């Protein structure tokens, strides 16, 4: 890591291991709720405008060689802010 670099875990969608609660054979197993407070950066990744679907689904840029998400092509600016107390976040805008 260097100054100016932002990193995030890429857990292949598996962001809540050991965060749920299950009952097996009458015994309840309680997970850690803090692990269910996720940080998913998929919505921050640079999107490929050439393959946006008509229904609004977007896809991030892809590595042309491996076919996986292109994690290294997104540039971000981190700004301290206070989110609104209520509202819905959609396409980068709180409503």
From residue 35, how far is each of 17, 32, 38 by CA, in Å?
A: 7, 6, 7
Give pTM, 2 decimals: 0.42
Per DSSP, the three-state class of 17 is coil
Domain ranges of the chain: 41-75
pLDDT per residue, tens digit, the chain (95 aa), is 788 787 776 655 555 666 778 888 999 888 777 666 656 666 677 888 888 778 777 788 888 888 888 877 777 777 777 766 555 555 555 55
């Amino acid at each position: 890591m260097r100054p100016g670099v932002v990193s995030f875990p890429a857990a292949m969608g598996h962001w809540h291991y050991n965060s749920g609660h299950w009952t097996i054979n009458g015994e309840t197993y309680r997970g850690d709720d803090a692990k269910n407070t996720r940080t998913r950066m998929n919505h921050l990744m640079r999107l490929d405008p050439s393959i946006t679907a008509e229904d609004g689904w977007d896809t991030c840029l892809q590595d042309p060689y491996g076919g996986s998400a292109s994690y290294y092509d997104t540039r971000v600016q981190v700004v301290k802010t206070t989110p609104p107390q209520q509202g819905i976040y959609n396409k980068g805008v709180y409503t």
